[in-house]
Amino acid sequence: MASLKYCISDIKDALLKKSNKSADNKAAKKLNQSITLGMWYSNADIKKKFVKEAYEISDITITPKATEIDKYYEVKKCQKRVNGKQTEGYVIINKKFVFNK
């Protein structure tokens, strides 16, 4: 814990990486820590932040894509105007995986 500088998110990530769960379970659990239901996220954010981190922790070697978010969540594809430009993204509706704490 000292090597992780007592950072709670780093400790959770290290524990998740060491767990004996399947790769998809690890990825879903990491996504659940960082994604809020009902929120809109751009394709770029989903790909570069959320899915990429989840795949790195769970040792999934395929290239992350924004469309893969629908493996873990029920989503609705929509566009939103961000800084004057139309931006593709998804609204997160509900989880497909359910975890007990």
pLDDT tens for the 101 residues of the chain, in order: 567 677 777 777 776 677 777 888 888 888 988 899 999 999 999 999 999 998 988 888 899 899 999 999 999 999 999 999 999 999 999 998 766 54
pTM of the full structure: 0.76
Q: How many C-alpha atoms does 48 have within 13 Å on its Cβ side?
A: 6
pLDDT (0 to 100) of residue 91: 96
